[in-house]
């Protein structure tokens, strides 16, 4: 069930995958500012910097809303001691805090329409962390990641209690236009989707998170994406058209 409800814009919006679904959350990013429950801060600490390996610092200056889109912008701008500045939004809080997430849900289908950037060094991601902030025990679901500028080779991953299962595929260049990235998270399976087509499934219940999760969307620089070469252009954006979450209906 949804633990903190955000009213959807319309109950007539239909999920891309089969099933009886009730729309519980819908942000179309209309207007000119970020809607609740999103926060433009990373979840690991109150500081804006990240562990070694990634080259960006997340800052609210890297997050904007206009023309019906959420823009996460990576720029070659030194911020908080890092060489790059970028954008992240999340519906949770700060790990280690006692503040409950602004929004979380337990089981359901999340669908994000987004256009990811091309270029070596970018690491766009759509993912979820547990409401308890104990991601080792509670788990992590990575709905989408692409590494090293190879936007035709997405990855789909679940982590829990020191175990990991990761899937990948080769297909169309996902940087060419908007695509939908979905995950159906249920007690007995997790299935990942691109444009309404199932691309990976796990039925390993030891890996499937059982507690409420909250969504995160970010555009990292460096890390698993590699160091940007001189040929990578900045600024660059990851654009998000909507985030929708359904749960099983009767």
CB distance 70 to 29 below 8 Å: yes
The DSSP code sequence of 78-124 is: -BTTBSEEE-EEESS--TT-SPPPSS-BSSEEEEEEEEPPPSTTEEE
Active site residue 56: no
Residues pairing with 186 in the sheet:
189
Among 24, 111, 140, 237, the active-site one is 140
From the number of C-beta atoms within 10 Å of its C-beta (0-12, 13-18, 19+), residue 14 rates as exposed
Look at residue 8 and give its three-state secondary structure. coil
Look at residue 221 and give its three-state secondary structure. strand
Among 28, 54, 56, 145, the active-site one is 145
User: Cα dist. 96→3, 99, 170 in Å?
Assistant: 19, 9, 37
CB distance 111 to 182 below 8 Å: yes
Active site residue 54: no
How far apart, in whole angstroms, are the C-alpha atoms of residue 82 and residue 212? 32
Q: Collect all residues with Cβ–Cβ distance below 8 Å to 46 and sequence separation of at least 6.
A: 94
By annotation, the residues acting in catalysis are: 140, 145
């Amino acid at each position: 069930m949804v633990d903190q409800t955000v009213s959807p814009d319309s109950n007539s919006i239909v999920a891309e995958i089969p099933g009886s679904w009730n729309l519980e959350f819908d942000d179309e990013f209309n207007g000119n500012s970020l809607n609740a429950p999103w926060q433009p801060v990373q979840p690991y600490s109150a500081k804006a910097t990240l562990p070694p390996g990634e080259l960006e610092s997340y800052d609210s200056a890297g997050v904007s809303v206009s023309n019906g889109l959420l823009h996460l912008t990576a720029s070659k701008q030194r911020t908080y001691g890092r060489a790059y500045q970028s954008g992240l939004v999340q519906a949770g809080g700060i790990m280690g805090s006692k503040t409950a997430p602004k929004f979380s849900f337990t089981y359901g289908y999340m669908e994000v329409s987004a256009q990811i950037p091309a270029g070596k060094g970018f690491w766009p991601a759509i993912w979820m962390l547990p409401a308890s902030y104990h991601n080792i025990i509670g788990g992590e679901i990575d709905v989408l990641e692409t590494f090293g500028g190879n936007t035709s080779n997405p990855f789909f991953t679940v982590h829990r209690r020191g175990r990991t299962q990761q899937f990948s595929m080769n297909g169309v260049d996902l940087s060419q236009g908007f695509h939908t990235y979905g995950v159906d998270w249920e007690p007995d399976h997790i299935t990942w989707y691109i444009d309404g087509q199932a691309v990976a499934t796990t039925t390993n219940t030891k890996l499937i998170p059982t507690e409420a999760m909250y969504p995160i969307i970010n555009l990292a620089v460096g890390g698993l994406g590699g160091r940007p070469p001189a040929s990578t252009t900045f600024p660059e954006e990851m654009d998000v058209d909507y985030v929708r979450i359904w749960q099983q209906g009767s």
